[in-house]
Structure formats: structure tokens, C-alpha cells
Structure 1
Amino acid sequence: MPETVTITREDGVATITVDRPDSLNALNVATLEALDRTLDETEDVRALVLTGAGENAFVAGADISYMKELSVEEAMAYAELGHRVCDRIATHDAPAIAAVNGYAFGGGCELALACDLRVASENAVLGQTEIDLGIVPGWGGTQRLSRLVGDAAARRMVFLGERLDAESAAEIGLVGEVVPQEELDSVVDEMAHQLAAKPRFALAAAKEALNQVHESHQSAGLAYERRLWSGLFGTADQREGMEAFVEKRDPDFE
């Protein structure tokens, strides 16, 4: 089987790439597990970069073909795996940069939200699009998004499933900066190496302190989100939303 997640290391910077371009880098179980294992190799790095292979997608989302038949119990296990990966990035000692090079929907947007910094190419499109599948964000989006962009913008994105182009995402603070596609790698590489040159323990302490601003309430919110997300599996709307996606048609919700 080909590797679905790759890692390169240089001067204290680890770049992790989700490498399923034919599937727009969608996160199936095997890829999430590979991402989890790959993070085991980054304990000594000073900066993390996350990106997706190709120019069309960062991570287009979770694997809907897999999700559409899940039971509540299976959905909870999938949510816990997604949460574990996102939480490991969010709490990693090293700052993490998401290099958003195309679509970042659903779980892909949540993966970017788990990072400390987000840089988008001009062709990036981001969104919490789960509502059109009959579910809600399930890997941290309901909690991290509102803390980043504010309550009103988060509600619009989650309720309407809005897809934001890079400039619109920058306007609400979802990404920190937008660069031409051909400059994305070099801009992120320079930023990562600047971070890697900072004092390691001070940088880790700074990240921990910044995370602590929300931690007392966020952990409870994340647990509640997992229960809500998995509880929607088996509903008529979840089945219809995901069947329609797989069949490439508009959903007909009840």
C-alpha cells in the first residue's frame, strides 16, 4: 500500500503531507491513523508544517464514503480518532503551521484549526460544510472555530455550510495571510524556520500559555461535540446527506 502520509525533516522543521491527491487528500481511517503515527516522529522538532499533496486540496474533508453507513458507536470511534489527531497538533510543544493549498472542508478545516498559524494560497477555499451532510463538525470545529473567528462568523459557517475563498477567510481571521500559490511553500518554509530558530522551551511555554486561555472550558465543549456528532449517525438526514454526496446529487432532507 502506498504511504498516505509523508514526513520530511530539515533543521528542526518537520513537514507532514497528507498524500492522497486522487481523493483530494480526504482523511479515511487509515490516513488518520498514519497521521497519528507520523506525529510520534515529531517529538523533538521545533516547528511543524501540515499540508496536502498537490495544488487542489489541503484536506478536502473526512471520508464520506466511509462515514455514510456508520453506527453511532462507530461514529464515536471515528470522532475520537479525529479528535486525537487534532488535539495532538494543538497541544504539540512545537508551533504548527497549516499550509492551506486548496480545499479545506469539514475535517480538513478542523485540521487547519488545530494548527497555531494558517497560511493560505490564493486558490484556497475553506468551510465547515458538514450541515449539508446532515451532521455537524465533529473534530473540534464547533469549539475552535468560534474562538478564532468569533461567534457570529462561526455560526454562519456552521449553519450555512459557507465556503470561504482565501481573502474572505483572511478577513474574518480564519487564516493569517494569503499568498500566491507558487509562493506558498517558500513563505511557509521561511516562517517555519524562523520559529525553529526561536528558543525552544520559551516557545513551548508561550504556546501552552496561549492555549490555556480557553482550555478550562474547551475540553468539556470538545467532549460534548463528539457526543452530538456521533449521535447524528443513523438519522434520515445523515443518511440522505451522505448518500447524495456520494451519488453526486442534491440532498432531499426531511
Structure 2
Amino acid sequence: MNQLSQSLIFAERPDPAILLLRLNRPRQRNALSVALLGQLADALRAARSDESVRCVVLSGDERSFSPGADINEMQQHGFEALSDPSRHNAWDIIAGFPKPLIAAVRGVCLGGGLELAMLADILLVAEDCVLAQPEIRIGIIPGDGATQRLTRIVGKSLAMQMVLTGEPISARQAVAAGFASEMLPASEMLGRALAIARVISNRAPIAVRLAKESIQAAYETPLSAGLAIERRAIRYAFTTDDQKEGMAAFVEKRPPLFSGR
């Protein structure tokens, strides 16, 4: 396993087609400083243009995914800590990452950490994780998307409960609410995330990208517009070499060899 160390992000290639990114501010439990978000955005920007990367897995460490925004930065700079243009730009790059992004969450996942996890396409949670939007406890509200994304994912009632009380939900509740797809023992979390990434990385890359775009549209458009997006996407998929290879392989009863074209 080749490991490339960046000061606030560890980037690894556990598989030629998979990029594993680990948040790395252990003393701050991976609090989301402007610098950390910037380095994460840089890593994803590089992965976006690297054709060999077909899926990204994002994780924290054994104790914490992230407790949220860096409180020290907010104490020092007030609202400007959150409104920093470079910070907004980093969030936009992460949110707009076009390849599949899997988040493997262990331990503490609060505030901005939960908002970061919500940007993943597939979210796995460990049995030991604590999930919350506790901003109300310090006199503010979520500011990195939770009032919008959380409501779309889990519905109005649970979103209101989490945001207005600041109280956590369990991993089991998260799966039941559709916030996460699987709950696993902490020791199995990363292995399962990488296993899913390997399955995805063996699928046709263009079809994967088109599928992600179409599903995301369901959160941002009316049904009729979303269906139109899906129809345009599948029309395009039928023009690719991978479509021809996939169907030929199915007929010939052999594994497909997708080229990403």
C-alpha cells in the first residue's frame, strides 16, 4: 500500500482504482479547519482529473470522524471563520466531486463533520458512532448545509429534532432513518467501505458518473425534471463503448472489461 502523507490528510491507494483519504488532525479529533477542508478539496480535485481513480473512500480515525468546525477559529474570527471564501470554495469542490464518494464513519461525527459525511454518496456508520448537529448548544445553527441536506435525507421531523435539540442519534437510528446504508462493528467499517469501493470501481465509469448525477438530481429538481435528466443520461450511456462491451459480455457470459469510454 503506497501512502502519500499530506499534513492534514493521509492519502492512500489500497487498490489501483481506489483512493482512501483519512482526515488527520488527531489532537483536534479531526476538527474541520479551513486548512483541512482546503487540503481535502485539493485531494479530491486531483482525484477528479486522475482517470485511474474510480472511487474514493473518506474516513477519520478510530476515535473520531470529525467533531465539526474548528471552534478556535470561530472564537478568534467569529462568523468570518465560516464565511471565508476559501472555505466556501472547498465545500463546493467536495460537494461537486463527480466520482463515487464513500464515507466510513467511526466515533464522533458532529456538526460540520456530519455535514461533511452528508456529502458522501454512500455512508457507512460504525456501531460506536455518535451523530449530531449540536450547534444550537453554542447559540448558533448549522451553517454548512444541514438544514437543507439533513431535511431532504431524513425528513422534516427528525431534522427538526436533531437541529433544535442538538441531541445525538445512534448509528441504528441513522440507518433506520435512511441517513446511512449500513451499520457495522467498528473493526469491520473500513474493510466494508473498501469492498463496496472495489465493486463500484469495476463498473463502467461513465455509467457510474451518470447514475450519480441522476440520483443527485432527485434532491434538487421536481420529478418531471429529474426523469428528463435520467432519460438524457441513459441516452448518452447507450453511445459509449462500455455499453457495447457490457452487453456483449452479458450475452457471451464473461466478465466485462470496461474502458471508461
Per the normalisation by structure 1, the TM-score is 0.79
Query: Is the 1:86–1:110 contact (alpha carbons within 8 Å) kept by the matching residues of 2?
Result: no
1:142 match: secondary structure: helix
> Aligned residue for 1:129?
134
- Equivalent of 1:46 in 48, 51, 54: 54
Separation in 1, partners of 2:82, 2:130:
26
Change in Cα spacing, 1:103 to 1:146, as seen in structure 2 (3 Å) is same
Cα deviation for residue 60 of structure 1 reads 1.4
Report the equivalent of 1:12. 17
Name the structure 2 match of 1:138: 143
User: Share of identical aligned residues, percent?
Assistant: 36
1:212–1:83 CA distance, 2 compared to 1 (3 A): farther
Taking the aligned partners of 2:82 and 2:31, their CA distance within structure 1 comes to 17
State the alpha-carbon separation in 2 of the partners of residues 15 and 142 from structure 1: 28
Q: Which amino acid aligns with 1:68?
A: Q
CA contact (8 A) 1:46 1:94 kept: yes
Q: Deviations over 1:90-117 (max 9, x none)?
A: 3322111110011110010000001111
Q: Does the residue aligned with 2:77 lie in a helix, a strand or coil?
A: coil
Confirm whether residue 63 of structure 1 aligns to residue 67 of structure 2.
Answer: no
CA deviation after TM superposition for structure 1 residue 82, in Å: 4.5
Contact 1:89 1:115 in 2 (8 A): no
Greater length-normalized contact order (CA 8 Å, ≥ 6 residues apart): 1
Evaluate the alpha carbon distance shift between residue 74 and residue 185 of structure 1 in structure 2; reply closer, same or farther with a 3 A threshold.
closer
Question: In the superposition, relative to structure 1, how do residues 49 and 73 fare at CA in structure 2: closer, same or farther (>3 Å)?
Answer: same
Distance in 1, Cα, partners of 2:205 & 2:59: 23
After superposition, residues 38-187 of structure 1 pair within 5 angstroms as 38-43=43-48, 44=50, 45-53=53-61, 55-77=62-84, 80-187=85-192
Q: What amino acid sits opposite 1:102 in the alignment?
A: G
Where do 5+ consecutive residues of structure 1 fail to align? 218-254
Paired letter, 2:177: I
2:227 is aligned to none
- Tell me the secondary structure at the aligned position of residue 215 of structure 1: coil
TM-fit CA distance, 1:31: 1.1
CA deviation vs aligned residue, 1:3-41 (integer Å, no higher than 9, x gap): 111111222111111011221111112211111211122
Asked whether the 8 Å contact 1:83–1:140 carries over to 2, the reply is no
Is the contact between residue 19 and residue 55 of structure 2 (CA under 8 Å) also seen in structure 1? Answer: yes
Tell me the residue number matched to 2:233.
none
Q: Does 1:197 align with 2:202?
A: yes
Report the CA distance between 1:121 and its aligned residue.
0.9
Decide whether the 8 Å contact of 2:41 with 2:94 is kept in 1: no
Provide the rounded CA distance (Å) in 1 between the counterparts of 2:213 and 2:22.
25
Report the Cα offset of residue 134 of structure 1.
1.1
Provide structure 2 residue ranges, at least 5 long, that are not aligned to the other structure.
Answer: 223-261
Question: How has the CA–CA distance of structure 1 residues 186 and 57 changed in structure 2, closer, same or farther, with 3 Å as cutoff?
Answer: same
The answer (yes or no) to whether the contact 1:87–1:114 under 8 Å persists in 2 is no
Counterpart code for 1:127: A
1:176 shift after superposition:
1.1
One-letter amino acid of the counterpart of residue 56, structure 2: L
CA gap of 1:145–1:208, structure 2 versus 1, over 3 A, is: same
- Larger CA deviation: 13-22 vs 32-41: 32-41
* Equivalence for 1:247: none
Larger Rg: 2
1:203 to partner: Cα distance: 0.6
- The residue that corresponds to 1:226 in the other structure is none
